[in-house]
Amino acid sequence: MSSSATPSWPESSLDEDEIDTRSYWTIPNAVSASRVLLVLPLIAAANSKNIGLVVALLVIIGVSDWADGVLARALHQISALGQIFDPICDRISIAGSLVVVTLAGFYPGRLAVALLVREAIISVATIVLAVAGWPRIKVTFLGKAATLMLMFSIPLFVVANSRWDSAGLARILAPGFGYAGLVAYYIALVQYAVAAWRLAPQRRKANLTAERESLAG
């Protein structure tokens, strides 16, 4: 984040200088994909009310969100696909986990709906901007922090609804992480909207350049 008083808005392109490989088949990308696949056994665990397994799977999903980035840097496997694939897997795994634990009665319905609405807005906007040829908007620090808080809130709400000794503490921590994550999520959404708006002149210029080159050709 910027150390100045001016907000640090997301940039608009891939980190070309950071890309180590053009290969799709990397360990970090496999970790990102596994995060999505783990939602399937989570469904079975939630349906059977196996609290221990639900929490374990949610923790693994959350840790994998941290691990893929660490592995990409440590193994020099930062890829153009990974920079796009990782946030997509984040959204799918968070949305999937939220739906599963909410339907199982572990997560507050209103909070889940508010989070899923934001996910839907981001997903639709991402598709629309991509079709329109907009440069990709990088994930902000606040967006990452919000995701982390929500990743914590989901297993905490599950524990809060259990008979574990730690349930009392979880009932205090879960709303804190959940609602703080919700606020940060929507503030990050505003950041992305401002970044997209600021890119409009750049996009119009690119269109004019493409039209001129087409006419010249």
Q: What is the pLDDT of residues 88-107, one digit of tens each?
A: 888 888 899 999 999 999 99
Residue 119 falls within a domain, yes or no? yes
Is residue 136 pLDDT above 80, yes or no?
no
Tally of structural domains, the chain? 1
Tell me, rounded to whole angstroms, the distance of Cα 128 from its chain centroid. Answer: 18
SS3 182: helix
Q: The tokens of 145 are what?
A: 């922090």
Q: What are the φ/ψ torsions at residue 50 (nearest 5 degrees)?
A: -85, 85
The DSSP secondary structure of 68-92, one letter per residue, reads HHHHHHHTT--BHHHHHHHHHHHHH
Residue 57 lies in a domain: yes
> What average pLDDT does the segment 49-68 reach?
91
Instruction: Give, in degrees to the nearest 5, the angle at Cα 181 between 178 and 182.
Output: 85
- Domain assignment present for 142: yes
Q: Choose among 212, 202, 211: nearest CA to 134.
A: 202
Q: How far apart are CA 21 and CA 140, in angstroms?
A: 23
Residue 55 resides in a domain? yes
185, two tokens: 């999520």
Q: Which residues on adjacent β-strands are paired with residue 79?
A: 21
Q: Can you give the pTM of this predicted structure?
A: 0.77
Please report whether residue 87 resides in a domain: yes
Q: Is residue 175 part of a domain?
A: yes
Q: Please tell me the predicted confidence (pLDDT) of residue 178.
A: 95
Q: How confident is the model at residue 197 (pLDDT cuts 50, 70, 90)?
A: confident
- Within 10 Å of residue 46's Cβ, how many Cβ atoms? 24
Tell whether 140 is covered by a domain: yes
Q: How far, in whole angstroms, is CA 184 from its chain's centroid?
A: 12
Residue-number span of the structural domain to which 47 is assigned? 16-216
Name which of 5-14, 112-121, 189-198, 202-211 the model is least confident about: 5-14
CATH of the domain at 86: 1.20.120
pLDDT at residue 170, as a whole number: 97
Residue 138 C-alpha from the chain's centroid:
11
Average of pLDDT values for 141-153? 90
Instruction: Say if 3 falls within a structural domain.
Output: no
CB hemisphere CA count around 93 (13 angstroms): 29
